[in-house]
A and B are shown apart, each in its own frame.
Chain A
């Protein structure tokens, strides 16, 4: 307790130095005046009285100082003096300071940048009331078999269980209505909508929410009222809550917006509220501009009744105050079992698992946790290398300053005083480094933002601002860094023996830096990890970039349309698609037009069950097959060669018998020794039916570039149309130039039909491997940084050795040693250091690369090329940085060297 108080009073006096001094002065003045007054009362003259008082008091100045010191004022003063002294010392050797600060700035900057990303994506809580009470409600079970599932997908966890986040509406209602320790169990899902505003149709996203969403999630509208349970009833008047950006942009920040109509999918809804500016939805990076009640769904999307046994809703809950989480989970599990009994969906051992919901749905979290962890580790290694550099530099500097330290020790500076001085120096360095590091982080923010965006969908918002947490992280890192790299040299420096001060400066031969050698070897081994890691990432990206997608992406524009939202019934879809197709085909510059359920390598895929006659599946489970529903001429438009059979024609209509075209892998896997054309199998799209294979096409990348070729079937849209399609327009002109004409052509067919997801096939292709590119880029940058820092470390050590041994080298040269005799051992020493580092680093890297295996493509974790090239690179770079001091040694002038004493 007392120690605490002492520390507190010292800290306080650090800030209140002036105040403390003023108090001391006042107290002493009081004493002197009292004494003077007494003397006067005893009959002295005022001058004599004052003189006598001072005489009795003693040296006022030294008393003042002594009081201040006793009071700890000196502590603050001493530290401040240390800082000033440290800055003077650092300014005296600008080269050392620059290298040190830049090393640190790069190390700390890299860490801060990565951390700000980590913070934005993985750590920051949602801006809602008591976010810590939110829980994600996920289901878990074995062998789930659902009739329709959309959402972030499911994950298989050890033990044969599958975990999923989507629920059906009836299932959700069971969870909501059972009382299980939650104040609210709410549901939501995103849907694409066509909003009409300012006479223009716009395709955007809506979040459909349950009536208790706003109370459960903990958000109040900024104007108006939230969606309430009574709004979420079948047949209730259609209402909408809009987001702040939409209100600002599309409504011109109209304060009277509440009560005004907005047109959604051709239906009129009333705006009832505007969300606050800093609002963020529970789905990461969600782009919803309008919030609608769940029960508006049957009205707005007539093709999907709400009660259908389709799993599409995300469910979250807010724990009631004082609720027991385990009991709540058990209660929900029982309800979920009931819901399963009423559902067509079946799974074994179904149950509910709760997850922390304070950061919203963890989809992005799951995707990014691994790459981020790898990047964080890499950045940490870079910082460690920077620390080793600093420690090495400080050791060398400490060795050079041994005489100074010994003199100071001889003059009475305590051991602790010397350590403190060294630590203040390294702290000053690291804070300078941290300041610059924040700049580095700010400068690398756009690159990092790009990285995050490529990982998620386009135009997602991310907030990478440097918040308190990021700042605190930076300061913490820099203080820890200062201690790590400062403590050893500080203790070394404080070992200075006063007696050594008496020796002549030259008699104190600079010591060998055994510790310094160890540091350099460690830097090399850490660099191996990063260089090899980055090498693997770069090779992965190179492989992906070289992958032939199986189609021709050049000059192909893609865009999506969704006739269902514009009020077209299902029977009209193909007709709408056909009309768009012929209208666009008639435009000048267009060579071929076709369409498919989604664009190739856009990251979407669909699959369903199939049964092959005479080929029962080994595991007894249903066999899934990926499929893509396409229009006519799709293969010609995408330049996918037809290897056998025929393409779809307009004769493959809904009334004709069902046909499919299969890819090469399908043919090879299921019909290895026969001609697949003319064969039939059962396909479960909607209802099981027999389909005939009419053609075989070459393999293409369908889902994404990374995916290996899997069996894929193409189904004609004419026989089974999708609600939305992606058009592909192959042109002779650059694709972008056609867009205005295409818009006009589509508007001529239906003015309520907006184009969305407009892109080019090349952009989709690039985007598909963009995360890998950025990962390679960031990994490469970090590895380069590590290399650079290690080189500086090695160079520093070698340069120190050469400087230390200059007299010896001079003597040897004088005795007839050739420059080669002199530089040889230096280079050899450097080589040994690197080899020692490699001896530790390579096995370490071999062990660690397995962790990033899933991120690799077309390259083994223990890729010999990468390892050999990485090792060779390190040796070459190390030899280069040792060569400069070696050359300096070879040029030592014997006369100068011998005289330098």
Chain B
């Protein structure tokens, strides 16, 4: 891993997980993999921190969890977006875009 790693901004992990799960149910390991791949290996999730985040989101009702079989036929816990998770994703995406725009504006002005 020679590429520059970016530390995740606080709270963005939620957004990344929600977005990842929008593609369909998957287990924790593939969520971590997917985030890393999608970001061209820039965003390396500290894999452990993913799980408390998943549990908190489950408590909040954004995602639901169910035990199932993994690709290699092992018992794994699959997470899926709930309706309120989908709404949350929309809201957080909107916020993120606003913040992103604002930061870009500030940077361009400078």
Contacts and interface: CB of A to CB of B under 8 A. Distances in A.
Contact of B59 (A26, A58, A70): A70
B29 A30 contact: yes
Interface string B49-83: 10110011011010000000010001111000000
A57 B74 CA distance: 20
16 contacts: A5-B61, A9-B59, A27-B51, A27-B76, A28-B51, A30-B70, A30-B74, A31-B29, A34-B70, A35-B29, A56-B46, A57-B46, A58-B49, A63-B48, A69-B52, A70-B56
B47 A30 contact: no
A67 B52 contact: yes
Contacts, number: 63
Contact of B46 (A27, A58, A67): A58
A145 interface: no
A34 B29 contact: yes
Contacts of B34: none
Contacts of A30: 27-29, 70, 74-77
A26 B75 CA distance: 9
Contacts of A5: 61
Interface string B2-39: 00000000000000000000000001110010000000
Interface centre among B48, B75, B76 (most CB of A within 10 A): B48
Secondary structure type dominating chain A contacts: helix
Contacts of B46: 56-58
A398 interface: no
Given A34-B70, A56-B47, 13 more contacts: A26-B77, A27-B77, A30-B70, A30-B76, A31-B28, A34-B29, A63-B51, A66-B52, A67-B51, A67-B52, A70-B58, A71-B59, A72-B59
B29 A2 contact: no
Contacts of B27: 27, 30
A59 B47 CA distance: 10
Contacts of B74: 30
A30 B28 CA distance: 9
Nearest to A5: B61
Contact of B47 (A23, A26, A58, A70): A58
Contacts of A34: 29, 70
A60 B59 contact: no
B68 to A, nearest CB: 12
Interface in A454-502: none
The 9 closest A-B pairs by CB, nearest first: A58-B48, A70-B55, A66-B52, A63-B48, A70-B56, A34-B29, A57-B48, A67-B55, A57-B47
A155 interface: no
A72 to B, nearest CB: 7
Contacts of B32: 31
A62 B49 CA distance: 10
A5 B49 CA distance: 25
Contact of B77 (A23, A59, A60, A72): A23
Contacts of B58: 70-71
A59 B59 CA distance: 22
Contacts of B48: 57-60, 62-63
Nearest to B32: A31
A71 B55 contact: yes
Interface string A514-554: 00000000000000000000000000000000000000000
A66 B56 CA distance: 9
A818 interface: no
